Amino acid sequence: MEEVEKLLKKFGITFDKEARKFIDLIVEKITNGTETVKAVEEAIKESSFHNNMKAEMIATILLCSAIGYNSEIGINEETLLKSDWFGTGYTLEEKLNSLGLGIKAEIVQSIQSGILLVNSVSDLVKKKSITIAQVEKAILNLNYLTVDETTDETVDEAKSYLLELRKQLNGVVEETDINLLPPVVFELLKMIDNIMKALVLSAISISVFNAVAKTIRNFYIRLINTEASRAWYEGFVKTQVQNKDVFGVKWKLSPVHYQYPYDICDVNASANIGYGAGIYPKNKVPRFPAHPHCMCRLEVVKNAKGKYNKEGVNKYIDKLDNSKLTKIFNKDNLKVYKETGDWEKTVRGWTGYENLNKI
């Protein structure tokens, strides 16, 4: 899986490079006066952003499949695109097309929200009276746009406008002891009003960055992590696990798993169903990947002694503290588990065992 992880990291780097050009193109078009929706549509078409990322994703998944098969060739592209890898009812091709369709809506909505926040401050400026509570609310709203740290130059420049406005508004609040701001304050607010156009463009830059480099990026990374793992898994099973001298596999957590909440993968890696913690015979292996974004590893186990015991999972679960229990069960499921002891029907993310001899 180390080789797969390197390929996925490389995909992330490629995405970031393509995203940078895509973001700059959108902001440039809007700055030059193109209406928001049209600007996004034109940028999507001219940059071929989704088509480029789709091709990169397919190529990466095919390479991961080849690694699983331990050869230069894995699953073919047509089979890959027509496969429903995770039992969702959608093929990979349908999932990729769905990603493309959602790009415009995500960016436009983010831009509109950003402009709305800045305009909320502008509206306060134009009012005949303004309260301290309203000013504080405006500061809070602007903080929403600047809360995340980033080293992106365009966004950093845009943030400086917003931060300066927040500083001025903070000064208004600190210097005022009465609920209704005095007339002199409106002189300051007029000064603020003069940079509103710059603030709107700044909000657009930040909003586009947040939509593409964060939200949309997460969509792509989540999909490729899951699909690449599944493609690798099929080759791994057929070329290594199905050998007659192999007993089964050992479930190992990804090196970065500690960054995520306690989940079904922790159960898979730690429970003992009779052969040792995280070890499963090849006719009874937890579904892999266990969930979208799953980056766990499986290792071949050639020999293991023992007998299947479903209660082994119960023994493991029953030793968990309340914090971990709340993460692998919702409130109702935990109640059902305590009444029935049936973890297979109540643990979040559990989709059953697979017989790897039949994959």
For residues 336 and 134, the model is more confident at: 336
Chain length of the chain = 359
Whether 147 has a pLDDT exceeding 60, the answer reads yes
Whether 143 has a pLDDT exceeding 80, the answer reads no
For residues 291 and 267, the model is more confident at: 267
Residue 19 confidence (pLDDT): 96
CA–CA gap between residue 346 and residue 328 (Å, rounded): 9
For the purposes of burial, counting CB atoms within 10 Å of the CB of 46, is it exposed (0-12), middle (13-18) or buried (19 or more)? exposed
Residue 72 confidence (pLDDT): 82
CA 109 to chain centre: 18
Helices (H), 210-359: 217-236, 264-270, 311-317, 322-328, 331-340
Residue 300 confidence (pLDDT): 95
Q: Which tens digit of pLDDT belongs to each residue from 329-358?
A: 988 899 999 999 999 999 998 989 999 988
| Mean predicted lDDT score pLDDT of the chain | 86
Q: Which residue, 238, 315, 242, 244, is CA-closest to 273?
A: 315
Q: Which tens digit of pLDDT belongs to each residue from 6-22?
A: 999 999 999 999 999 99
In this structure, of 34-38, 74-78, 186-190, 234-238, the range with the lowest mean pLDDT score is 186-190
- 60-61-67-71 Cα dihedral, nearest 10 degrees: -90
CA–CA gap between residue 356 and residue 100 (Å, rounded): 34
For residues 306 and 185, the model is more confident at: 306
Produce one character per residue of 230-257: b if its CB has 16 or more CB atoms within 10 Å, e if not: bbbbbbbbbebbeeeebbbbbbbbbeeb
Residue 173 confidence (pLDDT): 62
Q: Yes or no: say if 246 and 303 are a contact pair by the CB < 8 Å rule.
A: no
Dihedral (CA of 118, 122, 124, 125) sign:
positive
- Under the banding of pLDDT at 50, 70 and 90, the label for residue 236 is very high
> 144 vs 48, 151, 152, 166, CA distance in Å?
30, 17, 17, 12
Residue 139 confidence (pLDDT): 66
